[in-house]
Amino acid sequence: MASVVSNGALRHEKKPLGMRMRKYWGFYLMFIPVLAFVAVFHYAPMFGIRYAFYSWKVVGDPKWVGLANFEKLFKQSQFSVAFANTIVFSVVKLLLNTGLAVVISLLLNEMISLKFKKVSQTVIYLPHFMSWVVTASVFSLILSPSESGLVNQALIKLGLIDEPVYYLADKGWWRVWYYIINVWRETGWQTIIFMAMLTSIDPGIYEAASIDGAGRWKKMWYVTFPALGNTIITVLILNLAKIMNLFESVFVLQNDSVKRATNVLQTYVYYQTFNSGASADYGYTTAIGLFRSLVGLALMLICNYASKKVRGRGIV
């Protein structure tokens, strides 16, 4: 700034702020609606974070309690279960989805019939457009222990089980199916980014490899796979930054018998606030939300740093 002021020539080049702003007045006008929406829906809630230090029952006024909400929080076993679940569900899901997406992309890339390749791609992208409610509805009908449940009936017919199992009401099975359903819905969609990378590999590299006597497996292992390396890391970093957002996929698959064991932070906040009647405390659940946002922020910053190291640019 000092050099600008002391240097007469420079000052003449850069017009005064007011004049430059006047030139752009139309753009400022265009930005007002965007700013208004962000202010109301994103920044106004940030001011509500102060309630994390209050006790605010559904009826009555907020009352200052200092750090009492956080003391309560860290003593609750339900909270630690939810926190652990958030991390475990997200990480396992992320590794499964990414790993399988890489395998499927490599296999798709080797497909001879272009027509069948296209059809396969169309089919595997499809479930991504179904809402989580629809996905959960489809699977709760198919996994139903009643005689219309496809999975149970098929397993009984094959003689693998004698009695129908209520998969989504059993803690252990619920987790297994949660991962299966996530793979069913998201893995195909994740292949898009890997396929885009694969089609950008220079065919000359494959030719050179063939000339050197590399077969299909060697080409896959030494040419294709390394080319994906950076993309895989990028995908992992981008998604790791968002793991604290987990909500809807868990919420729609839950039912009363597995709720406690399968809660993640966001579903815990929801039930504590909206499903516990008059004992609900906005202050306490805001405190959980604040904890979640801070962990999310930390993850974001770590991933941003990692992203800058690995690929030379941040994620936001």
Would you count residue 40 as binding another protein (CB under 8 A)?
yes
217-223 LR contacts (CB < 8 Å, sep 24+): 220/106, 220/110
Selected binder of another protein within 31, 74, 221, 225 (CB under 8 A): 31
Restricting to residues 256-295, name those near another protein by CB under 8 A.
266, 269-270, 273, 282, 285-286, 289-290, 292-293
Q: How far apart are CA 215 and CA 258, in angstroms?
A: 50
Span interacting with another protein, options 4-12, 83-91, 125-133, 221-229, rule CB under 8 A:
125-133
Selected binder of another protein within 8, 33, 60, 277 (CB under 8 A): 33
To another protein, the closest distance from the beta carbon of 75 in angstroms equals: 20
Q: Three-state SS string across 62-94, please?
A: CEECCCHHHHHHHHCHHHHHHHHHHHHHHHHHH
Span interacting with another protein, options 5-13, 71-79, 124-132, 163-171, rule CB under 8 A:
124-132
To another protein, the closest distance from the beta carbon of 59 in angstroms equals: 14
Restricting to residues 192-231, name those near another protein by CB under 8 A.
192-193, 196-197, 203-204, 207, 210-211, 213, 216
Restricting to residues 72-91, name those near another protein by CB under 8 A.
none
Selected binder of another protein within 21, 88, 95, 161 (CB under 8 A): 21
Tokens of 1: 């700034």
Pattern 95-114, binding to another protein, x per CB under 8 A? ---------x--xx-xxxx-
To another protein, the closest distance from the beta carbon of 271 in angstroms equals: 11
Restricting to residues 147-176, name those near another protein by CB under 8 A.
147-148, 150, 153-154, 157
Contact 194, 124 (CB under 8 A): no
Beta-ladder partners of 57: 281
Q: Cβ–Cβ contacts within 10 Å for residue 68, how many?
A: 15
Element containing residue 129 per DSSP (H, E): none
**DSSP calls for 197-229:** HHHTS-HHHHHHHHHTT--HHHHIIIIIHHHHH
Phi, psi of 106 (to 5 degrees): -60, -40
